[in-house]
């Protein structure tokens, strides 16, 4: 990398370059590299998933948002998916999961953070949202306790990126089951964003953090860990970097290794 480029990527110049990039008709990879969009964490995960799908010979993948509410995130997700689809040629099927009526009850269980949320928070105007969704975006209404098992049964493509913004421990635990059913399909690495792990109320004995810990303790074949290589990004000090994880499919990594050994013989 040239010396000048390295200088431009450091403070204070990087803010100036980013505002310039936002105004220029640049490729989606530049938008992603410079965090020049409203939700860089979504674009970063979607692009990484599409790149992995492409290098693995997979033609379509799912991009999921757990917890949709008014749909701000889902609408951005479908817009980013369109750009990334154009860039990579990988088909991106956007799916949002929500009750449609806001949060379920949090009463009586500290793990669901009743100190932060109550039943009915974040309702949805379903008609308004559906009118803005592309025909290829799917909105699945209902409690994830029912909708996730149903989705997995009819899942057609592997998972590539999952944004978890479903707030509660109980809901997150269920959402993560999307990786656990025998029929579940995933890329060998699925990129994840967790929205509610950096709040003043957050700790690892409740909420999304506890759901991740329990997932790892119970599952031998899929493990969720931090996405460490993001620490090399231009805006590496931004908070969302710490909210990005990767679900590693250990079976697929073993199978890949076995394939490589077969070829080597």
Ligand X SMILES: C[S@@+](CC[C@H](N)C(=O)[O-])C[C@H]1O[C@@H](n2cnc3c(N)ncnc32)[C@H](O)[C@@H]1O
Q: Rule CB under 6 A: which residues touch ligand X? A: 65, 67-70, 72-73, 97-99, 102-104, 122, 143-144, 165-168, 171
Nearer to ligand X, 89 or 120 (CB): 120
Q: Which is nearer to ligand X, 65 or 85 (CB)?
A: 65
**Cβ 257 to ligand X, closest distance in Å?**
37
**Beta-ladder partners of 66:** 97, 164
Give the nearest distance from C-beta 236 to ligand X in angstroms: 23
Q: How far is the CB of 120 from ligand X (least distance, A)?
A: 9
Q: Give the tokens for residue 88.
A: 């990579």
Please, which residue, 112 or 249, has the CB nearer to ligand X?
Answer: 112
- Please give the Cα distance from 189 to 191 (Å, whole number): 6
* Strands, E assignment, the chain: 60-66, 91-98, 138-141, 159-164, 186-194, 222-226, 244-249
Where are the strands (E) in 82-131, listed by range?
A: 91-98
**For ligand X, the closer CB: 165 or 208:** 165
CB of 185 to ligand X, least distance (A): 21
* Residue 33 CB, nearest approach to ligand X (Å): 23
C-beta neighbour count of 133 within 10 angstroms = 16
Cβ distance to ligand X smaller for residue 40 or 73: 73
Q: How far apart are CA 202 and CA 23, in angstroms?
A: 36
DSSP letters for 141-204? ES-HHHHHHHHHHT--S-EEEEEE---SHHHHHHHGGGGTSTT--EEEEEEEEESSSSSTT--T
């Amino acid at each position: 990398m040239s010396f000048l480029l390295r200088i431009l990527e450091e403070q204070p110049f990087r803010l100036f370059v980013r505002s310039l990039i936002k105004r220029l008709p640049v490729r989606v990879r530049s938008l992603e590299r410079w965090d020049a969009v409203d939700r860089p964490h979504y674009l970063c995960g979607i692009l990484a998933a599409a790149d992995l799908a492409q290098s693995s010979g997979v033609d379509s993948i799912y991009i999921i948002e757990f917890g949709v509410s008014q749909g701000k995130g889902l609408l951005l997700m479908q817009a980013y998916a369109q750009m990334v689809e154009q860039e990579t040629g990988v088909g991106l099927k956007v799916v949002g999961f929500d009750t449609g009526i806001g949060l379920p009850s949090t009463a009586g269980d500290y793990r669901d953070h009743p100190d932060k949320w109550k039943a009915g928070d974040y309702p949805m105007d379903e008609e308004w949202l559906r009118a803005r969704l592309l025909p290829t975006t799917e909105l699945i209404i209902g409690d994830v306790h029912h909708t996730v098992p149903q989705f997995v049964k009819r899942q057609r493509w592997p998972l590539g990126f999952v944004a978890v913004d479903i707030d509660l421990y109980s809901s997150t635990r269920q959402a993560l089951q999307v990786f656990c059913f025998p029929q579940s399909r995933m890329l060998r690495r699925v990129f994840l964003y967790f929205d509610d792990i950096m709040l003043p109320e957050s700790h690892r004995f409740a909420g999304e953090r506890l759901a991740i810990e329990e997932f790892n303790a119970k599952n031998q074949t899929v493990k969720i860990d931090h996405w460490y290589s993001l620490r090399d990004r231009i805006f590496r000090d931004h908070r969302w970097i710490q909210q990005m994880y990767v679900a590693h499919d250990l079976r697929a990594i073993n199978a890949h290794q076995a394939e490589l050994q077969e070829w080597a013989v």
